[in-house]
Amino acid sequence: MSERVFCVDFGAAYTKVALRTAAQETANLVSFTTSARDFWAPTVVAADWSSGRQKPDLEYGEKAAGIKPGGKIAVYSNFKKDLFAPPEVEAPGAHPLDALLQSEEFEALAAKYSVLPAWVAGLRTMVGSAKAMFGAGGDRPASAGVSKQERAKNVVYYYFEWLRERVMEACEKLPHTALDYKSIPLRVAVPVLGTGTDLDQHPGCQRLREALSLTKWKLDGRLFVAEPESNAVGVLTKAANALTRKKQVNLGEMFSKGPLVTVLKGDAYHPTYRALVIDVGAFTTDFAALTVDTGGKPADSSAGAGFGIVQHSVEHGVTNLDAAVRGALPEDKRAALDGLSRRDFSAFQVSAYTDETGYRLPDRRVLGGDADRDAVRSGLSDFARRLTDETAAFCQQLGPASMQELILTGGGSSIPAVRDALIAAAAQAPGGTFVKTHAPGLKKSKAGPPVDPLDDKLARGGSALGGASIYFEKAYY
């Protein structure tokens, strides 16, 4: 049981951290004052090999997001996807440094300057280790036998070490000065991939645990929470935590912000409730259906209120949309897109997908503008179609519910074409009548069912807030 906990939503594009300082305290997102939106940090690591040292100069988060790749600079911005990918070993690369170190000429040069063979062997090992840490540096291929997963695990280690430093700095500014923040345990919200229900058994989670165990973070006894479920909990409770007088979880009070309270209090006309939550992220799209069946009688919230969860993650997110659009652009524009920093690429995404204005380069060319409109719209259409198919398939396994809410979160749900397609797909599913729809960018109107325009902190930080909830502390039930 954790009275206090940090929960990290380790997103492929952005990482968010939530903190619960006591069992009944509302969880809050940790502020990163260097970020454009202060509650998240870009999930980016930049490695500059130009110094010639064994370990590159590293930058993280917002600073790394502003660095352009190329030459001796490698930028890692999709390592979560590599961490959770199936095992894959890269083919040997003909790197000139390998050729030099293994050549007879190099051994002759070493002998000329009285360099001992053991020192030569040590140098070869050192260079191999450095390349295994982050690849071969710059735009060179990785050394033979180095898997993407192992490299991603190393990058995760460095990123989480940096993240901990930033979190501790932020906590020093909080009013709870008596707390020992370094002793507060960490848990992480992760996607639900594969058919198994045990998160710890997924190879990606095992790699993540291995990387985290090497950091200075204190790890929670329940290290992983399912991202779809934690996101649903975070949005529906708005990060509230409550206990009964018997020190048991009071779900009735925690979920009292919406229609669910009607069902929990007992309503013969609404004996069942469902929240359908769809989170469109960079790496995965997460589906969760949180259900309650009270039989029309008041629920004993301290007993868990009969909450059930069906959840699933699909390895299809905004990075797939990016790849489709990139592939449809002319070669010169594709090269320009590949040369953008992560920060500039994020600006391109908003300009091309949401605003439909295009992103203007310094040379006055426009990426994703009028000339590329067909390519962008085709990519958006295919992406939305795949997500609507996944929504329909997910809803097919759900039974009827008398009262439903639809909640759309994640950066992808901020794209109007995607958001509108998901709302339409959910409405067409069996029992698809929703008493309320929550999504970023929605506009309230007098006609139709009530809507709730989610702010960024819930639309993007729900998984971190929910993962820090006492909802996941089974000792309080």
pLDDT category at 86 given cuts 50, 70, 90 is: confident
Domain spanning 242-317+382-463: which superfamily?
Answer: ATPase, nucleotide binding domain (3.30.420.40)
pLDDT of residue 292: 85
- The average confidence (pLDDT) of the chain is 85
As a whole-number percent, the residues of the chain with pLDDT over 90 amount to 54
Determine the pLDDT at residue 140.
42
With CA atoms as reference, report the closest residue to 437 among 426, 428, 370.
426
Please write the tens of the pLDDT for every residue from 152-189: 999 999 999 999 999 999 998 888 778 999 999 999 99
Confidence label for 277 from pLDDT (cuts 50, 70 and 90)? very high
Closest CA to 87 of 257, 206, 180, 197: 206
pLDDT range class, residue 96, cuts 50, 70, 90 = low
Sort strands 5-10 and 186-190 into parallel, antiparallel or unpaired.
parallel
**pLDDT of 228-250, one tens digit each?**
999 999 998 999 999 988 888 88
Q: By 3-state DSSP, what share of the chain in percent is helix, strand and coil, each rounded to 5? A: 40, 20, 40
Angle at 376 (CA atoms; ends 370, 381), nearest 5 degrees = 135
Tens of pLDDT, residues 401-437: 888 889 999 999 999 999 999 999 999 887 778 888 9
Domain ranges within the chain, ordered by starting residue: 242-317+382-463, 322-374
Window from 29-38, 208-217, 317-326, 376-385 with minimum mean pLDDT: 29-38
Contact 41, 166 (CB under 8 A): yes
Which strand (E) or helix (H) includes residue 427? helix 416-428
**Mean pLDDT to the nearest integer, 201-227:** 94
Per-residue pLDDT, averaged over 253-269, amounts to 79
Model confidence at 327: pLDDT above 70:
yes
